[in-house]
Structure 1
Amino acid sequence: MKLKVCGMKFTENMQQVATLQPDYLGFIFYEKSKRNFEGIIPELPKSIKKTGVFVNEYKEIVISLVEEYGLEAVQLHGDESVEYITDLKEQLAERRALFIEENKHIKKKKNQHKISRNEIEIIKVFGIKDEFNFDVLKPYVEVVDYFLFDTKGKERGGNGTKFDWSVLKKYPFKKPFFLSGGIGLEDVEEVKKILKLNLPIYALDVNSKFESKPGVKKIEELEKFKKKCHFERNVMELRNLKF
């Protein structure tokens, strides 16, 4: 099981969170968000995947920001269609192939942000409250790398509340997913319970419950959360190999 810390905004705080070695750091590129990111991403450990979060954004802008910040994952939090995602993936693959060809004899310079040499992961978000029709996911299964289930609320994300996780017992696919929505330090026992179910949970996504203010993460609480959930990692890593 992986850990994603989303809603990063301030350089010093990013560096502090990075010392905890989460698997993903999320940067929200959405002007209406209190955690909208504008600035510089410092040099991060290679093990951390920089993830851009977008809401119904023009594909050209998504691609531009992927290249500018060297993003390794794209999280789509809007109403993006299968056609949108398919076209985005094709364009990202073309730009990546062109970049690799043009730079195959050039060593990467420190702090040089360019499109990742690895395939860009696509994460599609769906909001859940008390029930959910999983049939709507069928067209997306073959075109995304992961789903992400968040709490359906007034905001596109960062509502700080959990949805009814028991709904996920009806999840019918093998496609791995991120579990998100108001997960905090007080939810460790509930996290342990759901991890024991036969579900392809790939990662936990945390955000507002670990903040002192929007975009500023509480390092000590994140560290405690990671340690308390750590013992489930090996079990879930092995389980996910089935998928």
Structure 2
Amino acid sequence: MKLKICGMKYPDNILEVGALLPDYMGFIFWEKSARYFDGIIPELPKSIKKVGVFVNATQREILERIVQHDLQAVQLHGQESVTFCQDLKSTVNESIEIIKVFSVADDFNFRVLKPFEAVCDYFLFDTKGKLPGGNGTTFDWKVLENYPSSKPFFLSGGIGIDEMEVVNEISKTNLPVYCIDVNSKFEIEPGLKNIKLLYSFTSNLKL
């Protein structure tokens, strides 16, 4: 499994998190988010992929952010259609990863995933809540036992220190969990990450 740390906001904190060498670092380009990023991303180790997080943004906005921040991945966290994902994937450089997010509740219908398999590189499962993300709550991961696809996915939604044991257990299953995505459970305030807590998590997570 890989690790993504999302919702980064402050330059010094970004560099501190970068020193932990997560595989992905997420920057939210949705203005209504408390973690909205409107600065300049400082230089990070080349091994870290920068992810732009968008909510129902236009293709033009996404492309502008890719160029502005040299993004290596795009995370679509809204109601983006199959056609939108397909058009975006055909427009961006083939090396840029497309991650489509689905908000999960206990009654999630996995059949909605099928049309997206060919137009994105990964799925991301987050907890269905009032906001598109960063709600700080987990969903019942037993729902994933019904996952019908071989498409690798990011596991998100309220993952913190207390969830580490369960995350490690999930990694032992046959589920194609590609990456663990953490955010609000490791914050001092929105966008400001607790480095000591993240270090403890990364040291004990079986990546």
* 1:148-206 deviations in Å (ceiling 9; x for gaps): 00000000000000000000000011100000000001111111221222100000000
Q: Name the aligned partner's letter for residue 153 of structure 1.
A: G
The residue number in structure 1 matching 2:178 is: 202
CA distance in 2, matches of 1:10, 1:64: 21
Superposed, which structure 2 residues align to 1:4-153 within 5 Å? 4-93=4-93, 119-153=95-129
Match of 1:164 among 130, 137, 140: 140
Q: Aligned letter for 1:168?
A: L
Letter in 2 for 1:133: N
Distance 1:150 1:190 in 2: 16
| Alpha-carbon distance in structure 1 between the residues aligned to 2:141 and 2:117 | 21
Does the residue aligned with 2:164 lie in a helix, a strand or coil? helix
The alpha carbon displacement at 1:47 in A equals 0.1
1:101-124 C-alpha deviation (Å, 9 max, x unpaired): xxxxxxxxxxxxxxxxx6100000
Match status 1:211 vs 2:190: no
Could you tell me how far apart the structure 2 residues matched to 1:47 and 1:130 are?
Answer: 36
Q: What amino acid maps onto 2:133 in structure 1?
A: G
SS at match of 2:92: helix
Q: Any idea what the Cα deviations from partners look like across 1:34-58, whole Å, max 9, x if unmatched?
A: 0000001000000000000000001
Q: SS where residue 142 of structure 2 aligns?
A: helix
Q: Which residue of 1 aligns with 2:157?
A: 181
Tell me if 1:222 matches 2:198: yes
- Which has the higher Rg, Structure 1 or Structure 2? 1
Q: Deviation per CA, 1:209-228, whole angstroms, max 9, x where unpaired?
A: 00000000000110111111
Q: CA deviation at 1:131?
A: 2.2
State the percentage of identical aligned residues. Answer: 59
TM-superposed CA distance for 1:92, in Å, is: 1.3
CA contact (8 A) 2:10 2:192 kept: yes
Q: Which amino acid aligns with 1:141?
A: E
- Residue 91 of structure 1: CA displacement? 1.7
Normalising by structure 1, report the TM-score.
0.84
Q: Please, what TM-score do these two structures have when normalized by structure 2?
A: 0.98
Gaps of 5+ in 2: none
Greater fraction of residues in helix: 1
Question: How many angstroms apart in 1 are the aligned matches of 2:203 and 2:107?
Answer: 31
| Equivalent residues, number | 207
Partners in 1 of 2:162 and 2:181 — Cα distance? 15
